[in-house]
Amino acid sequence: MSVIISVRVRRELKEKAKRLGIDIRKVIERALEEEIKRREEEELAKSLEELRRALSGISEREWVEAVREARNAR
């Protein structure tokens, strides 16, 4: 399903795009997809950094014990 989004651009840009045969909808859609991907990657990187900081206080021994307990619980 698609939706309609209105955007105001300078007349000169629209005229140049039309003259050059540029499909404005495709360009805007691609730019929006790229920006969404970039922001999602930023959010993921931030979450991973927070997780790394949170887990940095756990020793290797504690990790091993936690894995063993999880395996034994199955």
pLDDT at 34: 98
Domain boundaries, the chain: 11-73
CA dist 48 and 40 (Å) reads 12
At 54, is the pLDDT very low, low, confident or very high (cuts 50, 70, 90)?
A: confident
CA dist 9 and 29 (Å) reads 15
pLDDT at 57 over 90: no
CA dist 42 and 50 (Å) reads 12
pLDDT at 22: 98
